Structure 1
Amino acid sequence: MQQQFSKKITTPSIQEQSSSSSSRPIQYFMREVAPVSQEKFNKLVLNFVIQGLHPLSIVERAEFKELFKQVLPSRHVMSRKTLVRMLEDQYISMKTDMCKVLSEQEFVATTTDAWSTNHKSYLGVTVHWIDSDTLTASSGALACRRIKGRHTYDTLAEMLESVHMEFSIQNKVVLTTTDNGSNFVKAFSVFAAEEKVTEDDEENDEEADVEFTDVAAFLQETKKDDFHLPAHQRCACHSLHLVATKDAEAAVEDSSFKKISRAAFAKCQSLWNKQSRSTRASDNIKDRL
């Protein structure tokens, strides 16, 4: 009995394990994995493309197909046409869910911005609200659309209003935040909700001279430009950015401020140059700051 327990137990070495593992087919290591249906596999690929911002053409690449052919040979990579169809279905589903959530809110706020990249212009719109039941702040993306032509104030007003109407929130938006761009500022100054008329304004209107207007020409002119936007709020971060750049440049025109500013920036530049040339100085600066 003691001799049986005293026998030396031998285990394979790491090299032996690796050599034996490398000789086994990949199906050997996947035999315990739960099967993945083709439907679930397609959803995983769709999520991979969306979350990674990959081009739709990735499913057509030979390397991409070969990867799953080796790892999961029982499933095939869908075509680009199928991927586009699933992407559109996913968009419609998410849009429907967003509309349902927004329909339950009494008040919302939106933000919008326009930018250009690769010789193309875009308008982005997001929505924000506080849930009436949980009092938690929530937000969502509403649109990212191409802007054809110039970023004029009326074009931005038309596109923003169309997004609000598409999600049926045109009467719920209490405020829209934008940057300080002149096109956005003019859009809201022209098309935003009118301010309440005071008694003084009414008296001035009564005293004003009567002026005749061609009604047909007026209706034809305002038909395409009759947009309705909510109240406007300028972005505080962008305003501070302008203070740090434009206003600071204007302040340099003052001789006393210019002298102090140049001296302070000269010291900062010297400090930067010192740490760039010396690793010891760089470590000292990092420890102190």
Structure 2
Amino acid sequence: YEHTKQQQFFTYYLKLKAKGFQIIKSAVTCENLWKNLKKKNCFWCKFLIAKSKLFLKENCRSDIKNFSATTGTSNLTAHLEQEHNIRDEVTLATSSSRMMQSFFAPIPKVASATLSTTSTKRKLVIDITMLCCRDLFPFNVVDGQGFLDFCKKYGIMSEPTDMPIRTTISRCLDFVYQNCKAEVIKCIAEYSPNDVSYTFDQWTDRYRRRPYSTNTLHYWDKDFNAINLTLKTNYFPKRHTGENILSELELVLDEFGIQNKNVCMVTDAANNVRKALRIGKYDNHLCWGHGMHNLVYTDGSTYTQSAQKERIQKHVSHLTPYNIIQYQRTLIKTTKHIL
């Protein structure tokens, strides 16, 4: 094995020598190189190059210095291919041919049917429904030949008849939703603190132009992990008045058992949203991202630099309910740099 590696080493050395490369000492020393060469592959051989016209670039020199003896060969290979057009055709061809042979190999039959019981088939239906919901796949993904071959190859099923049809998946959707909803309600009741944050926003589907409202709960658990739970996306065909928004909001709060918690609402500065929270007497904080977006992309193009400074100062004091003078000064300095 070591003799074969030595042959590969000198083969690459001769190839590089013929192209005008010279062997130099770098951060990857010959001793460390040979240690890695025995347990890795011959890409380390090719990286003993410099002092050529191709390596006069400053970034190449810094890259070589940063590469240590334990650097993965993928980084070295990518650098050689992208910067110097040096490829290991033999290794790549061998690896690619093996992968393609594996891909086109006949799919072995599963010795015993893994979906012999009704409960196991039911679990498969639920899991595929969850897959379609989380990644927004269409239900007819189960009809695709590629998906069937994938499941057969990795032993998920033994026969095509074990795969549920798309109507079965669609009928399971309500069951999955109700169970997920019950788990979310249980999680909120057991793990969420009394003080939580809540965001909601109205948006319109660009395809069918249908209005929706999405509600999200945010809190910190006992281990100080930030938890974000998307509770519901409602179809909202009513007029987006403050009263209608408040009515829909309170329905969601009651549905998920949040009505008795101290809820801090984080929203944009839309008048109808602010009116809804003012009627409901909720603590409302304006979204910092919306405010800065309007300053940079809307107001920034219509006001002079001095006027922008004044508006930024007023906007910061409006968005920040507390008198944090130092924070405002830092933000103003940053804004000056941006402007």
Q: 1:25 and 1:110, CA in 2 relative to 1: closer, same or farther beyond 3 A?
A: same
Q: What letter is aligned with 1:35?
A: T
Q: What letter is aligned with 1:159?
A: E
1:82 to 152, 159, 168: 168
Structure 1 vs Structure 2: percent identity of aligned residues? 25
Contact 2:245 2:276 in 1 (8 A): yes
Higher relative contact order (CA 8 A, sep 6+): 1
Task: Normalising by structure 2, report the TM-score.
Answer: 0.50
Q: Deviations over 1:156-187 (max 9, x none)?
A: 11111110010111121421111122221222
Contact 2:129 2:173 in 1 (8 A): yes
Q: Which residue of 2 aligns with 1:127?
A: 217
2:199 to 111, 120, 137: 111
TM-superposed CA distance for 1:68, in Å, is 6.6
Is 1:238 the counterpart of 2:290? The answer is: yes
Task: Normalising by structure 1, report the TM-score.
Answer: 0.58
Give the 4+ runs in structure 1 shifted more than 6 A: 20-24
Q: 1:65 and 1:183, CA in 2 relative to 1: closer, same or farther beyond 3 A?
A: same
Equivalent pairs counted in the alignment come to 201
Superposed CA RMSD in Å reads: 3.6
Q: Which residue of 1 aligns with 2:321?
A: none
Query: In 1, distance between residues paired with 2:296 and 2:103?
Result: 61
TM-superposed CA distance for 1:21, in Å, is 8.2
TM-superposed CA distance for 1:152, in Å, is 2.2
Is 1:251 the counterpart of 2:303? The answer is: yes
Q: Which residue of 2 aligns with 1:141?
A: 230
Query: In 2, distance between residues paired with 1:248 and 1:23?
Result: 58
Q: Deviations over 1:118-148 (max 9, x none)?
A: 21111000001122x3233212110111111
TM-superposed CA distance for 1:22, in Å, is 9.7
TM-superposed CA distance for 1:64, in Å, is 6.4
Structure 2 gaps, min length 5: 1-93, 310-339
Query: In 2, distance between residues paired with 1:237 and 1:22?
Result: 47
Structure 1 gaps, min length 5: 1-13, 194-229, 258-289
Mapping 1:61-80, distance limit 5 Å: 61=143, 63=145, 67=149, 71=153, 72-74=157-159, 75-80=161-166
TM-superposed CA distance for 1:111, in Å, is 0.4
Contact 1:116 1:122 in 2 (8 A): yes
Bigger CA drift: 240-249 or 107-116?
A: 240-249
Q: What letter is aligned with 1:231?
A: D
TM-superposed CA distance for 1:42, in Å, is 2.4
Query: In 2, distance between residues paired with 1:21 and 1:102?
Result: 47
Which has the larger Rg?
1
Is 1:56 the counterpart of 2:139? The answer is: yes
Secondary structure, counterpart of 1:27 in structure 2: coil
Q: Which residue of 1 aligns with 2:280?
A: 192
Q: What letter is aligned with 1:238?
A: H
Query: In 1, distance between residues paired with 2:267 and 2:130?
Result: 31
Q: Deviations over 1:68-96 (max 9, x none)?
A: 79654425222333213322222212211
Is 1:165 the counterpart of 2:165? The answer is: no
Secondary structure, counterpart of 1:112 in structure 2: strand
